Amino acid sequence: MTKKYPKLKFIISKKKEVDTYLAFLEDSKYRDNSREMNWAFYQHHPKLKVLRNKNLSLGQRKAIVEKYVDNFYKKHLRRIKAETDKTKKNWRKVEKIFYEMTDEIFGNYKWPNGKYIAYPTIWGMYPRFLDDKTFQFPPRHKKRNYILVSIAHEMLHFIFYDYVYKKFPKLKSHKYDFDLWNVSEAFNVVIQNSPKWVKIFNQKTMSYPEHKNLISKLKKIWEKTNGNIDRFLREALRF
């Protein structure tokens, strides 16, 4: 029996760029995400700093971002296309081993249904959308091999969340969102920075500075439970 793995598509979409801005904006209503807004938009696109003006309406913001994205893509479309094609080719070379390594971790757990689309982004953060299994990735990056690592990173999130919600349905409650997000990020670091994964991808994943302690805690649990995902999660998800 052949196993069914998602076939990741690569699509260029200016709309997705604008949507991502709007998603960050929405998030800013509930928590202070100015650090992430800075990483994502202002650091590398200083012209967008006009958006920091608190008096702008949603419509005005949307228009500013749409125009900026439009201009940027007009100027750089050829490059972004070439980089996206190259990324797609490179992903096709590692996807099989990626899926095998993921099978090993999650005990051949079935991949959740979804669109599985990777969109290149000009922004400095690469959000994922758990509901429809889409995410953004950097079409170019200063760290060699980082692009494939970021794709593997988002894919791991998709299967991780699906698995956790299936085994621990009570964690679907939004009050656990933040704790679960922390664990999902630290889990990725434990897995992606393990010698086996680094050997395949030739690069480590990124980690948030505030997750340093959690990462070493989860690494210990992962080793103690011999990488048994259920035993690992039972300990790691004690909120």
Q: 177: which 2 tokens?
A: 């969102």
Segment 184 to 213, residues that bind Zn ion, using CB under 5 A: 185
Of all residues in this chain, which one has the CB nearest to Zn ion in the complex? 185
119 phi/psi in degrees, rounded to 5: -110, 130
Q: For the chain, give the number of residues.
A: 239
Taking the C-alpha atoms of residue 18 and residue 28, their distance in angstroms, rounded to an integer, is 15
Cβ proximity to Zn ion: between 95 and 185 the closer is 185
Please state the closest distance from residue 46 (CB atom) to Zn ion, in A: 26
Measured on CA atoms in the order 152, 155, 157, 162, is the torsion positive or negative? negative
Please state the closest distance from residue 1 (CB atom) to Zn ion, in A: 32
Cβ proximity to Zn ion: between 65 and 203 the closer is 203
Please state the closest distance from residue 133 (CB atom) to Zn ion, in A: 14
Give the range of 15-23, 68-76, 182-190, 192-200 binding Zn ion by CB under 5 A. 182-190
Burial class (CB in 10 A: 0-12, 13-18, 19+), 154: buried
Cβ proximity to Zn ion: between 64 and 145 the closer is 145
Cβ proximity to Zn ion: between 168 and 208 the closer is 208
Give the range of 17-25, 117-125, 181-189, 226-234 binding Zn ion by CB under 5 A. 181-189
Taking the C-alpha atoms of residue 88 and residue 84, their distance in angstroms, rounded to an integer, is 6
Please state the closest distance from residue 173 (CB atom) to Zn ion, in A: 21
Helix, strand, coil fractions of the chain, as percent rounded to 5: 65, 5, 30
Please state the closest distance from residue 208 (CB atom) to Zn ion, in A: 9
Give the range of 28-36, 42-50, 177-185, 214-222 binding Zn ion by CB under 5 A. 177-185
Contact 150, 43 (CB under 8 A): no
Cβ proximity to Zn ion: between 87 and 136 the closer is 136
Please state the closest distance from residue 138 (CB atom) to Zn ion, in A: 13
Segment 74 to 113, residues that bind Zn ion, using CB under 5 A: none
Contact 138, 120 (CB under 8 A): yes
Cβ proximity to Zn ion: between 17 and 185 the closer is 185
SS3 track for 135-158: EEECCCCCCCCHHHHHHHHHHHHH
Taking the C-alpha atoms of residue 97 and residue 94, their distance in angstroms, rounded to an integer, is 6
Kindly list the residues in this chain that would bind Zn ion in the complex (CB under 5 A).
185
